[in-house]
Structure 1
Amino acid sequence: MNLSEYAMYDATGLAALVRGKQVTPKELADLAIRGIDLVDARLNAVLEVYPDRTDTPYLDGLPDGPLRGVPALKKDLAFAEAGQLIEMGSQLTKGMIADTDSTAFARLRGAGAVFLGRTATPEYGLAGTTESRISGITRNPWDLNRTPGGSSGGSAAMVAAGVVPMATASDGGGSTRTPAAYCGLVGLKQSRGRIPAGPGRSEGNNGLSASFVLTRSVRDCALCLDIMNGPAEGDPYGIAAPVRSYREELEQPLPKMRVAYMDQAWIESPVSESSRAALHAALKALEAEGHVIEEATPTIDIEAFIMATTVVACANLARDIDGLADRLGRKPDETTLQTSTQVCYQYGKTISAVALLDALAVFNGVNRCVGQFFGRYDLLVTPNNLTPAPLIEEYYRCDPAGPITAEDWQAQVFENDSYLATFNTTGSPAISLPVFETNDGIPVGVQFASRFGDEATLIRLAAFFERAMPWAGRTPPVHVSN
């Protein structure tokens, strides 16, 4: 098998080859390492490669699970592996070794996935691009002048470039869905409580964050959801178990749905022609299947929501940074934190318990509003972002030259991700699908959100779009097959 042949397979397909003894885990691991060597000098997406993961003794000991032998990479945030570095894009935590596995990571490894290394993330996941002082700028394989998004941009770049069929991602305000849209991938943010965030992350930013994967195929998304879902001891959130496996949902028909859509932003910034065209192409495909399409928007006080999100995010950041600084005996200051992180940290230190509870009360109001909305509609369809992947020089810098406040920074991050963060607050599932591309071949994602706990509808929907508006044949200019 050569790299071009390897990159044609998704994780499900590679696992089938391993089970059929048509290829060995070592052959696949060696191919993935060759892929990293081929493309990462241009993408700057991989922080570290684990040298032992291509060794025969390690690979001979793989669990006999549904991902046995499948190469993967893990985001350097939210996915801790005991005994390995987890630096989270920050000088403050440079050199830090994880002392326990995260549950989400352990479940994928227990299914036989071979994690070959770590991918880049912005400092503590605070940006919609992937850049940091310790790793530099990560670039998009579709256009090296564009960002792959953030904060899971390193993982997205490697999956899009064909290096691995899947990589871990996390989403606290769009950090899985934005890189999926910018890089032409499938990016699901599952319901709150579907996959454990712990044990190291406690509630995961008051339940805002969701740990999952980025994939090229919908069936890989379903497979990983089957592997990773289910409670762990001490989980703070509960959710009903799925009715059937998510892989079974791939073959289930979509019921006729009442579909709402938004093509205006919740904020004043305009939606690009490409993002609007992608939305309406998806709606046209749904309408052709007999679904009822209506323009409708949940009524949210967006300014109050942005402020509440800033309060909750910065309060959690301050707590996390203080804990990490105490653990490592380091000081959070301008030498260990980027400017954007430092101002958010300092603001977080000023937030009172009452202010945090007020922000959570705003969240509760949003939750009830969106919950009532999904009592009337089965699905809400929106642009994933205001624009396709921006040029790197057009995007905000994590170390801006001029002064910036925490409110300014959070507003900048929110602007292009304004459709996404609502569903982190509500805990509802939402998925980005690469159903469109610009005239110059840049992927454009569309977001589909459903009621709490209903990933099944999104998996069925994604399978429909994968057939109706296929993306499997598209490959970026920077790819292991080129």
Structure 2
Amino acid sequence: MHDLLKLDALGQAWAVRKGEVSPRELAEAAIARIEACDGTINAVVHRRFERALAEAGETDPEAPFAGVPTLLKDLGWAMAGEPYRAGSRTLDGIFAERDGYAVTKLRRAGFTILGRTNTPEFGTAITTEPVTSGPTRNPYDPRYSSGGSSGGSAAAVAAGMVAVASASDGGGSIRIPASMCGLVGLKPGRGRVSSGPSGGEPWAGFSAAGLLCRTVRDSAATLDVIAGTMPGDPYGAPAWRRPLAEEVGADPGRLRIGFLTEHPGGGLPSDPDLVAAVTGAAGLLEALGHDVEPGGPAALAEDGFATHFGTIVAAHVAADLEDIGRWRGRPVELDELETRNRILGAAGRKLDAVGYVTSRDWIDGFRRRMAAWWESHDLLLMPSLGVAPFRLGWLPPDDVSTSRGRTNQAVAFTSPVNATGQPAISLPLHHTAEGLPVGVQLVAAAGREDLLVRVAAQIEEERPFRHAAMRRRL
């Protein structure tokens, strides 16, 4: 049965459809894997095994992912009747009243939801080490971080607990854990996946919901499931001409691809593994027939981005605190928060409307200046993570200056893409001498997830991804 867990989600669904395994048996195998290795990894913070097994027995056999086990990130991804903590003790005792639209779509697609995964408080860190539930460890080496903020989901997939798990990305939180854990991490473009019915524009549209997977075809097929504008959404992404799953194996044509091994803004140390990862991917793309040359958008070098991005995030953290106060019936005091969010919340509470709108206007201009580069290019290749794989504790929780500086380095290549709302995908194409995975990301123009899938599938076929962690005895 463990061999079935090594299959991707589409492979597991096919095994169920052929009668090789029942949905309940597949859920039982995933539960056994969680119980066997999560004591080391600490990816799953809430287990709903009994209910999941009952639901598995009622799965619609016609659903595309009938009987496939999955886990939900405990940030966003609300599920009716289940606890919702977002990595924070301020939400102790809070239960979701209704499903998010994306969760409803996963359930209709036949997924069996086994529980919820660990996340840093409010998703504001690039490592998953919350005070509430402790650190999630990297399946490749438990001394290392699994990344954040979708680190629990990434570790669960990398360890073979499930084939796919839900995630979200407000500054790199799909692509960074994908890089750290050797996975495929597709961040959808803005408006592609609804945040309703409870949300409209998480972090002013910076944040996007998606899934962490081991294969490109799973990334495409699962995004097909959750994508789509819902009633009342503030906007939607342009429709694809066909399902993403049909783009796997399609010829991407001869593409114009720029690549960056160093950040145009300077001041970011150049790590040899990141350089090797990008140059290796550039060479592979060139061998596949694409036109590849160094260079990227000049806008990436502009001063002021981090300040305006941070202003918007702080404002939304402060607004979230007000929401939590209403949910639980008493205001959130700043001393209830971890240091990072105490500072963000305090800064957000001091902002006025003019300051917030000024930062949004600056980001609007930045998005247009970035978009101009894609008028003459198809894709941008960059590191997924701006630093080498790091150990747990690398971001000291109470040393704000050090933590902020290291975070800014780590998200230097990801957060601008959240600000522009473009789709991007992280692919596991490199390993350090110690065997730790290092991802590279490809960024497409707005609405072009289809192009990302075509190229990523082409790369995966030429150089199949290694997923050594899930085959280890944990």
Which residue of 1 is the match for residue 351 of structure 2? 351
Q: Distance in 2 between matches of 1:480 and 1:280?
A: 29
From 57, 61, 81, the equivalent of 1:60 is 57
**1:333 Cα deviation from its structure 2 partner:** 2.8
Which residue of 2 is the match for residue 289 of structure 1? 288
**1:411 Cα deviation from its structure 2 partner:** 4.6
Which amino acid letter does the alignment assign opposite residue 35 of structure 1?
R
Which residue of 2 is the match for residue 422 of structure 1? 416
1:312–1:356 contact (8 Å) kept in structure 2: yes
Which residue of 2 is the match for residue 11 of structure 1? 9
**1:131 Cα deviation from its structure 2 partner:** 1.0
From 20, 23, 28, the equivalent of 1:22 is 20
- Give the 3-state SS of the residue equivalent to 2:257 in structure 1: strand
**1:294 Cα deviation from its structure 2 partner:** 1.7
From 421, 425, 428, the equivalent of 1:431 is 425
Which residue of 2 is the match for residue 153 of structure 1? 151
2:387–2:409 contact (8 Å) kept in structure 1: no
2:435 matches 1:441: yes
Which residue of 1 is the match for residue 325 of structure 2? 325
Q: How does 1:454-469 map to 2 (within 5 A)?
A: 454-469=448-463
From 453, 468, 474, the equivalent of 1:475 is 468
Work out the percentage of aligned pairs sharing the same amino acid. 37
**1:330 Cα deviation from its structure 2 partner:** 3.4
2:249–2:458 contact (8 Å) kept in structure 1: no
Report how many aligned residue pairs link the two structures.
471
Q: Distance in 2 between matches of 1:52 and 1:246?
A: 34
- Give the 3-state SS of the residue equivalent to 1:214 in structure 2: strand
Q: How does 1:42-61 map to 2 (within 5 A)?
A: 42-55=40-53, 57-61=54-58
Which amino acid letter does the alignment assign opposite residue 205 of structure 1?
W
Which amino acid letter does the alignment assign opposite residue 293 of structure 2?
E
**1:303 Cα deviation from its structure 2 partner:** 3.1
Q: Distance in 1 between matches of 2:80 and 2:201?
A: 20
Q: Deviations over 1:241-265 (max 9, x none)?
A: 1111111100210110111111112
- Give the 3-state SS of the residue equivalent to 2:144 in structure 1: coil
Q: Deviations over 1:351-395 (max 9, x none)?
A: 1111111111111111111111000110000011123320113x1
Q: Deviations over 1:317-364 (max 9, x none)?
A: 100111111220234235421111111000000111111111111111
Which amino acid letter does the alignment assign opposite residue 291 of structure 2?
V
2:324–2:332 contact (8 Å) kept in structure 1: no
2:366 matches 1:360: no
Which residue of 2 is the match for residue 201 of structure 1? 199
Q: Distance in 1 between matches of 2:269 and 2:443?
A: 21
Q: How does 1:20-169 map to 2 (within 5 A)?
A: 20-55=18-53, 57-63=54-60, 64-169=62-167
Normalised by the size of structure 2, how large is the TM-score? 0.96
Q: How does 1:255-334 map to 2 (within 5 A)?
A: 255-265=253-263, 266-300=265-299, 302-334=302-334
Which amino acid letter does the alignment assign opposite residue 292 of structure 1?
D
Deviates more, 1:297-306 or 1:77-86: 297-306
1:7–1:481 contact (8 Å) kept in structure 2: no
2:74–2:119 contact (8 Å) kept in structure 1: yes
Q: Distance in 2 between matches of 1:176 and 1:350?
A: 30
CA RMSD of aligned residues (A): 1.5
1:208–1:427 contact (8 Å) kept in structure 2: yes
Which amino acid letter does the alignment assign opposite residue 233 of structure 1?
P
2:384–2:440 contact (8 Å) kept in structure 1: yes
Gap runs ≥5 in structure 1? none
- Give the 3-state SS of the residue equivalent to 1:28 in structure 2: helix
2:5–2:30 contact (8 Å) kept in structure 1: no
Which residue of 2 is the match for residue 396 of structure 1? 395
Gap runs ≥5 in structure 2? none
- Give the 3-state SS of the residue equivalent to 1:303 in structure 2: coil
Q: Distance in 2 between matches of 1:53 and 1:167?
A: 18
Q: Deviations over 1:1-25 (max 9, x none)?
A: 2x2x123211000001111111001
Q: Distance in 1 between matches of 2:19 and 2:273?
A: 44
Deviates more, 1:66-75 or 1:292-301: 292-301
1:172–1:210 contact (8 Å) kept in structure 2: yes
- Give the 3-state SS of the residue equivalent to 1:392 in structure 2: coil
Q: Deviations over 1:167-221 (max 9, x none)?
A: 0000000000000000000001111011111221221111111001000011111
1:388–1:443 contact (8 Å) kept in structure 2: no
**1:397 Cα deviation from its structure 2 partner:** 2.8
Q: Distance in 2 between matches of 1:54 and 1:348?
A: 39
Which amino acid letter does the alignment assign opposite residue 299 of structure 1?
A
Which amino acid letter does the alignment assign opposite residue 20 of structure 1?
K
Q: Distance in 1 between matches of 2:114 and 2:209?
A: 19
Q: Distance in 2 between matches of 1:239 and 1:166?
A: 23
